[in-house]
Structure 1
Amino acid sequence: MSTGAGLPLTRRQRDHQGRLQLSYWLRTASGAEEVVIEGESAVAFLREQDRERATTLLADLTGCTLRPLALSTLAHEPVCGLYADNLAHWYEALSRLEQADIGLMEEDIRPVDRYLIERGIFAGARVIEREGRTALMRDPFLPPLRLLSLDIETTLRADRILSIALQCAEEEVVLFNGSIAARPGLIPCAGERALLLAFTEQVRRLDPDLLIGWNVIGFDLRVLERRARALGIPLCLGRDDQPLRVESSQNGRWYARLNGRVVLDGIDTLKGATWQFERYSLEFVARELLGRGKLIHDPDDRGEEIQRLYREDPDALARYNLEDCRLVTAIFDKAELIPYLLERARLTGLALDKVGGSSQAFDNLYLPRLHRAGFVAPEYASGQGDLDVPGGFVMDSRPGLYRHVLVLDFKSLYPSIIRSFQIDPLGLAMGTRGDAPPEALVPGFHHAIFDRRHALLPGIIERLWQARDAAKREGNSALSQAIKIQMNACYGVLGSKVCRFFDQRLSGSITLRGHQILQQTAQRIESAYGHTVIYGDTDSVFVWLGDDWADRNTDAYGTRLATELNAWWAEQLQERFDVNSALELQYEAHYSRFLMPRMRHSDKGSKKRYAGLKRQSDGSETLVFRGLESVRTDWTPLARRFQQELYALIFNEQPWRAMLQQRVQAVMAGECDDELVYRRRIRQPLDAYTRNRPPHVRAAQQLEQQRRDEGLPPCYRVGDSVAYVMTVNGPEPAEKRRSPIDYQHYIDRQLLPVADSILPFIGESFAQLVAPQIDLF
């Protein structure tokens, strides 16, 4: 009997009355309910040859059993299954077997996850009663989800909460710690204890499915939990009576444990959806995406201003607090983050709050198919790993300033190579077995051979490919992006030791085939069409048509060139490998002017660095930079703006010398100080920098020392961006600069490299042009 369908929000496994219990909170059409699954077992696999020894080791664990199975390893060894009906015995069994060096397979897959993926439940699930037991089955239902945006304001030391703002679609409320005139949406609380109790009550009343915020776990929820613990208040924010738990992993990432509600951090969610920003502060991202920012704009004064508003203008603080909630909600909406997460879940089975997860997504797609084929996954990352496997192909470039350069791009090159050449873990295992007929085999690299009859991954990629094409036709950008990320990840995980299917024969057969395809494409263009290929990078070739190209119907010519090359590749692959080509070369861009710069202090062409005037479909032109200072966040705004202006003038053959000289004069006169700030990220804890202390680290350490002297907590964490300027006494934090700026540093290290990346191609030199101006100072 069906009892309804819903989306699993959170999942939990535990022992209950000595038996494994799986718990899923489902968001249904009418609300949220907990579904409890009984009678399941934790499962792992080991070689049949180890079963007798394992039976002896586990004899006293009555909850564990070993059973022979009609399954094999990828090395064609029979396996048996290890089953445990409770987690306590399960973990003890794994520990004993590992200590005895008995190889285990798929032992890391949590029972609560395995239950879903083996049933093909990636997103929607239907609750059924079968033979007196509750179970879940796959269902396409996806409910609307209720979001609640959270933001808190605290003292500078975060040792007291001043206010808490909550915002959802229908309601906004600010809880204020202290005296303030009550009105709809503004609730005064007599102290921090009352504030936290009111907060808990509001969350229960609003009953969100998703709790969102900016650094909401690492700051807001962590502070809330710490203050609640200090005051002896259980912060029960979930849909059960269990208090909130905020935990940190070994890599420093914070996690929130709430049953029945999903917590999503805006920063992590944006990064996971491949949004990229120079900085990830709420102020910066909001201005970039929404065109508006926080109500207190200056980050240097924000902390002190919040304290002043709390004392002198509490209504203004409440407005500021609430506006931060609104900004986060608007960012989620603008970036379509929730639709993206839902499509990702439906596509891969990843939980909504899963950060990263490429390897787990691959498992979810691949393991059920592998099991149905009669095999289990290998021991974690046990494949061949001592081979010389290069990354993506990067061709030596031909430096120069060109006219009329076309870019031809292979659509999803690595996924198309997997499809074309039948690259697959099971296909490799069957192909190298030695008993397949020759017509079934497709060669790879590093002695890899793939049996096309057993390959699973090409079919997975093909279905994803077709789904992405359909999503594009329907205008479903969220689904299209989710599919693109997953298709590309199918290559990436095979070459990474975080994947159980890691084997360099797999990743090498992909990247080396990519090298071959790019090189032969370039050769074909030069021999058959007489054009020069000046550069190639991973999946693209840059074709110089010639400075004297007539530039008539160039777009049509680029499309025809790609079409003819695709036909040539289809013929080549059929003739040489007896496979159907999935390669799809596309005409991507026409640059009317194009710069391929030299490497610094070398005559060789650079790689992954170029700029050009890209011709748009309406005939207009856009200045494009790749890898150069203009798009690198570790260069100053001064250098980036200077490059954009200088290149635009030169590309368009307009006078540029006066601009260059005026910019040098302005820097030396102190008129560009706001553009001299460097921003670089901290990659490890500050105290870990001992031998090598880069400028941004030295500046950050200075600021942290000043904060310690003032009794304030540290402000920098791993991943944070440090803003600093170069002074006559070295790097100093931008907000606490004490020394005069070293203007000559900015001339030599910011303007000169930018100018001399293009000026030599037109017979000019930065030093000769600016020497008279510098002498004036």
Structure 2
Amino acid sequence: MAALVGLPLTRRQRDVDGRLQLSYWLRTAEGAEEVLIDGEQSVAFIRSDDCAAAEPLISDLKGCSLRPLSLQSLAHEPVSGLYASNLADWHEALGRLQQAGIGLMEEDIRAVDRYLIERGIFAGARVVQSQTVDGGASSTCANTRLVRDDFIPGLRMLSLDIETTLRADRILSIALQCGDQEVVLFNGPIAAGEQILPCAGERALLQALMQQVRSMDPDLLIGWNVIGFDLRVLEQRARTLGIRLCLGRDDQPLRVEQSQTGRWFARLNGRLVLDGIDTLKGATWHFERYGLEFVARELLGRGKLIHNPSDRGEEIQRLYREEPLALARYNLEDCHLVTDIFHKAELVPYLLQRARLTGLALDKVGGSSQAFDNLYLPRLHRAGYVAPEYASGQGDLEVPGGFVMDSRPGLYRHVLVLDFKSLYPSIIRSFQIDPLGLALGTRGDAPSEALVPGFHHAIFDRRHALLPRIIERLWQARDQAKQDGNSALSQAIKIQMNACYGVLGSKVCRFFDQRLSGSITLRGHQILQQTAEHIEATWGHTVIYGDTDSVFVWLGDDWPDTSRDTHAYGEQLARELNQWWRTQLRERFDLDSALELQYEAHYSRFLMPRMRHSEKGSKKRYAGLKRDSDGEQLVFRGLESVRTDWTPLARQFQQELYALIFHDEPWHAMLKQRVEAVFAGQHDAELVYRRRIRQPLEAYTRNRPPHVRAAQQLENHRREQGLPSYYAVGDSVAYLMTVNGPEPEELLRSPIDYQHYVDKQLLPVADSILPFLGESFAKLVAPQIDLF
């Protein structure tokens, strides 16, 4: 056991014989093994001045104690530790102290998590056992502990997918794929084969499922909505049939639970469950829709074996009755799609790198605040301090978001984009922004040369700042990851560095204080404004827009593009601005600048549109023809072409119209032909709107937008047919606008309102650019419209 090294997959804490026990399932090179650790305690902190009031409240709890510590709060008050040797007394003690109004610090950190955090165990762990000595001979009782190790094992991944009746009240088949092993468990008669196992009823089906999972022995269970649907249905059917559905590595049954926010969680010991949708989003993959069919076609170039989602449910029922082998193939192909998506997007390597970087469990969704804790708390404790009461910092200040400059609308030639690399993390590094630094800087006893001013009366003591050092190490690690071509690690570091700002401005973080977040964003505003002013004063170029960390520099329509290397000029601008900022920070604050401005792009044509019904320039909306060594590329930001709530008609029209205008090619004929084709019904397939339901349909009472009305029509129809509800919160509704209003794509009955699409889809797209050419969509197409 002394040489056992592995990756903690799952962790839990429980009371055994009245004592706290920590359990970690480690994935080793040979397999998986549970490691049990006894003798640890749950820990929280209170102000030492509160001990006199707290002690009588917990005196009857034998497992609890209070101890003075050589630590203090960020308010510079001595603190004492509240310790509990079992969970029952721990939760009782917390309840009593909270009811009495006694402030608690770090009480929400579970012992099973704190054990790893304080030892720096973010990913790999090594098991160490030391024997106690009794009478000169080794005792049979070993003291087990974990220490940090860099070991990362290969993980076995099992893709799971089920097919059910329309009401999900009976399971028809279960497909499993784990590497080269794959099988379809079929409920009923079917030709048995190497990949197909017939089962006589659901009870036999679930028993076979447990046997297959034990045989394949995966570390990860993956699927598409695998927790909220597949595992939830499996658990419900097992409970109905009186079966203990044990899919973990012990004898505990599967538990599927839903949080107050609506998120589903699966509880297994020794195996992790990863939902494809959540994992993609967490790794910052963005898709117009997150259905398996859509994502698979975008990433893999292929989709499900039944393509039409509107009749997929009924088709599955037909295949079950008439073509069971076809259903088995369909079921198994869904598993293949999920597995291939995980491989293509490198999701597991990303999660492993995230774990090594932040200590987050592989199945943790979100977790920015917890990752911050994992990185920051051990360093804070070693500095002699504990975290404040949860989100107790100053919160009544006006803190703006990222800087967005008023734009100068127009159709331009030759615009350069200069972008600050990781602006907010670089501000934290440069200006020493830090929770501990704020506590010590505002105390009033630090020498003036150690202080760095912030905003909202924040002052930071640069001598004790912890966060800038954390950011610097992450920054260096990301640069190395880029050099090594490790895209998964680079992406994980980028996300975490940016999250270090985000959590400080959010009440989900225990270090929330608007003096911290305000000192970051307001400094960002200052940096962008001064950068723009310096460009205009020194080089004479006009800055037409600025957004969060970028400035858009217009070189002039008469820029001699053929006689000067524009890319080299952009890089020169960035170098000289970086040197200017280094000088500014050294002279004004005696600080080393970590600000790094980069030349990002050259747009040979660039549109900054106006706000609708206004002469003012828009924000976060632009388009351009980008030039680089690979050629030209049309880029859209915030416009119809990249917005999923606009129809394919509008998006395709915008791309074609802008491309013609940006290349100075004739465009009038295309515009008029497009209008004629719409009225002729030649673009009906491109008229579908897709919008997401943000709350239950019944919650839309005062305002019922078109997609909600369309969804309700389909729900009413299904109810009349005796079918279950089709839509859930987060689902996308596909509908068209007809002469009788919005109708769902699946129940289209009325003629399409083509005038609506011309007025609401084509006209806004065209009139975002045509006025800069002295043209008007309405005047150009009026004769065509009169014909219909």
Please tell me whether residue 543 in structure 1 is matched to residue 583 in structure 2. Answer: no
Equivalent residue in structure 2 for 1:215, among 222, 225, 230: 225
Please tell me whether residue 77 in structure 1 is matched to residue 87 in structure 2. Answer: no
Q: Relative to structure 2, which stretch is displaced further, 579-588 or 165-174?
A: 165-174
What displacement does 1:154 show? 0.7
Which residue of 2 is the match for residue 736 of structure 1?
A: 747
* Alignment deviations for residues 195-236 of structure 1 (CA, whole Å, 9 cap, x no partner): 111111000100000000000000000011111111111100
Equivalent residue in structure 1 for 2:635, among 624, 641, 649: 624
Alpha-carbon distance in 1 for matches of 2:463, 2:749: 70
Give matches, 1:260-339, under 5 Å. Answer: 260-339=270-349
Which residue of 2 is the match for residue 663 of structure 1?
A: 674
Please tell me whether residue 556 in structure 1 is matched to residue 568 in structure 2. Answer: yes
What displacement does 1:713 show? 1.4
Please tell me whether residue 533 in structure 1 is matched to residue 543 in structure 2. Answer: yes
Q: Which amino acid aligns with 2:430?
A: S
Which residue of 2 is the match for residue 169 of structure 1?
A: 179
Alpha-carbon distance in 2 for matches of 1:126, 1:718: 43
Alpha-carbon distance in 1 for matches of 2:278, 2:116: 25
* Alignment deviations for residues 256-276 of structure 1 (CA, whole Å, 9 cap, x no partner): 000000000000000000000
Please tell me whether residue 158 in structure 1 is matched to residue 202 in structure 2. Answer: no
* Alignment deviations for residues 57-100 of structure 1 (CA, whole Å, 9 cap, x no partner): 11111110000000001000000000001111101100000000
Which residue of 2 is the match for residue 568 of structure 1?
A: 580
Which residue of 2 is the match for residue 442 of structure 1?
A: 452
Alpha-carbon distance in 2 for matches of 1:52, 1:709: 66
What displacement does 1:669 show? 1.4
Which residue of 2 is the match for residue 654 of structure 1?
A: 665
Alpha-carbon distance in 1 for matches of 2:728, 2:14: 34
Equivalent residue in structure 1 for 2:191, among 178, 181, 192: 181
Please tell me whether residue 429 in structure 1 is matched to residue 436 in structure 2. Answer: no
Give matches, 1:310-459, under 5 Å. Answer: 310-459=320-469
Which residue of 1 is the match for residue 90 of structure 2?
A: 90
Which secondary structure does the structure 2 equivalent of 1:608 belong to?
coil
Q: Which amino acid aligns with 1:266?
A: G
Which residue of 2 is the match for residue 67 of structure 1?
A: 67
Alpha-carbon distance in 1 for matches of 2:411, 2:641: 18
Structure 2, gaps ≥5 residues long:
133-141
Alpha-carbon distance in 1 for matches of 2:255, 2:64: 31
Which residue of 2 is the match for residue 499 of structure 1?
A: 509
CA RMSD of aligned residues (A): 0.7
Which residue of 2 is the match for residue 490 of structure 1?
A: 500
Which residue of 1 is the match for residue 53 of structure 2?
A: 53
Alpha-carbon distance in 2 for matches of 1:184, 1:665: 57
What displacement does 1:668 show? 1.1
Alpha-carbon distance in 2 for matches of 1:742, 1:387: 49
Which residue of 2 is the match for residue 645 of structure 1?
A: 656
What displacement does 1:3 show? 3.2
Please tell me whether residue 237 in structure 1 is matched to residue 230 in structure 2. Answer: no
Which residue of 1 is the match for residue 111 of structure 2?
A: 111
Alpha-carbon distance in 1 for matches of 2:748, 2:370: 46
Equivalent residue in structure 1 for 2:487, among 445, 464, 477: 477
Which residue of 2 is the match for residue 606 of structure 1?
A: 618
Please tell me whether residue 689 in structure 1 is matched to residue 681 in structure 2. Answer: no
Which residue of 1 is the match for residue 597 of structure 2?
A: 585
Which secondary structure does the structure 2 equivalent of 1:378 belong to?
coil
Which residue of 1 is the match for residue 139 of structure 2?
A: none
Q: Which amino acid aligns with 2:691?
A: R
Alpha-carbon distance in 2 for matches of 1:663, 1:165: 46
Which residue of 2 is the match for residue 193 of structure 1?
A: 203
Q: Which amino acid aligns with 2:653?
A: F
Please tell me whether residue 718 in structure 1 is matched to residue 729 in structure 2. Answer: yes
Q: Which amino acid aligns with 2:205?
A: L
Which residue of 2 is the match for residue 259 of structure 1?
A: 269
Q: Which amino acid aligns with 2:78?
A: P
Give matches, 1:133-152, under 5 Å. Answer: 133-152=143-162
Which secondary structure does the structure 2 equivalent of 1:3 belong to?
coil
Alpha-carbon distance in 2 for matches of 1:708, 1:358: 41
Which residue of 2 is the match for residue 672 of structure 1?
A: 683
Please tell me whether residue 762 in structure 1 is matched to residue 773 in structure 2. Answer: yes
Alpha-carbon distance in 2 for matches of 1:99, 1:715: 44
* Alignment deviations for residues 519-566 of structure 1 (CA, whole Å, 9 cap, x no partner): 000000000000000000000000000000011200000000000000
What displacement does 1:703 show? 1.2
Alpha-carbon distance in 2 for matches of 1:43, 1:222: 34
Which secondary structure does the structure 2 equivalent of 1:711 belong to?
coil
The structure 1 segments of at least 4 consecutive aligned residues displaced by more than 4 Å after TM superposition are: none
Which secondary structure does the structure 2 equivalent of 1:393 belong to?
coil
Alpha-carbon distance in 2 for matches of 1:212, 1:417: 39
Alpha-carbon distance in 2 for matches of 1:703, 1:547: 53
* Alignment deviations for residues 470-508 of structure 1 (CA, whole Å, 9 cap, x no partner): 000000000000000000000000000000000000000
What displacement does 1:740 show? 1.5
Which secondary structure does the structure 1 equivalent of 2:303 belong to?
coil
Which residue of 1 is the match for residue 135 of structure 2?
A: none
Equivalent residue in structure 2 for 1:511, among 521, 528, 534: 521
Alpha-carbon distance in 2 for matches of 1:3, 1:473: 33
Which residue of 1 is the match for residue 17 of structure 2?
A: 17
* Alignment deviations for residues 362-419 of structure 1 (CA, whole Å, 9 cap, x no partner): 0000000000000000000000000010000000000000000000000000000000
Q: Relative to structure 2, which stretch is displaced further, 493-502 or 739-748?
A: 739-748
Which residue of 2 is the match for residue 38 of structure 1?
A: 38
What displacement does 1:717 show? 1.4
Q: How much identity, in percent, do the aligned residues show?
A: 83
Equivalent residue in structure 1 for 2:712, among 701, 710, 713: 701
Alpha-carbon distance in 2 for matches of 1:431, 1:2: 46
Which residue of 1 is the match for residue 138 of structure 2?
A: none
Aligned residue pairs total 776
